[in-house]
């Protein structure tokens, strides 16, 4: 009985140690700001390049897809020279620039204090 308990305890300790090597939180941190090298840039709905990612594959100005409108919290320019986020202002009846990042191969940035307000994007190469 004692030998069986020792083996069970050792097995549980091994599983616990293996699990501790890479927890989901650490895995997310490892992948933060990950954006394909052939993309103009990426937008995320979480801070620090985490959460759902929108890969920017087109240049020019266009509306964000419905699933990403008013949800962007961080962004990064990869191949683009500049990516600008815009928000619709009804009182001005116009899109107003709220945040921009520079590239190519720029560092990521949190869209503070304008997170969750972007409706439109302009990508310059």
Q: Is the pLDDT of residue 9 over 80?
A: no
State mean pLDDT over 83-94. 96
Q: Report the percent of the chain where pLDDT is more than 70.
A: 76
Q: Is the pLDDT of residue 15 over 80?
A: no
Q: Where in the chain is the domain with CATH 2.60.20.10?
A: 33-124
- Three-state SS for 45-111 is CCHHHCCCEEEECCCEEEECCCCCCCCCCEEEECCCCEEEEEEEECCCCEEEEEEEEECCCCCCEEC
Which numeric CATH code is attached to 33-124?
2.60.20.10
Query: Where residue 31 falls among pLDDT bands split at 50, 70, 90?
Result: confident
pTM, 2 dp: 0.74
Pair 75, 111: CB distance under 8 Å: yes
């Amino acid at each position: 009985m004692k030998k069986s308990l020792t083996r069970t305890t050792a097995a549980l300790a091994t599983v616990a140690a293996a699990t501790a090597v890479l927890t989901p939180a650490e895995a997310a941190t490892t992948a933060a700001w990950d954006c394909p090298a052939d993309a103009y840039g990426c937008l995320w709905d979480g801070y620090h390049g985490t959460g759902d990612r929108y890969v920017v594959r087109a240049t020019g100005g266009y509306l964000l897809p419905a699933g990403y409108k008013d949800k962007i919290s961080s962004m990064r320019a990869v191949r683009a020279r500049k990516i600008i986020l815009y928000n619709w202002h009804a009182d001005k009846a116009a899109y107003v620039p709220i945040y921009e990042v520079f590239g190519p191969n720029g560092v990521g940035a949190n869209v503070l204090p304008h997170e969750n307000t972007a409706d439109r994007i302009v990508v310059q190469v």
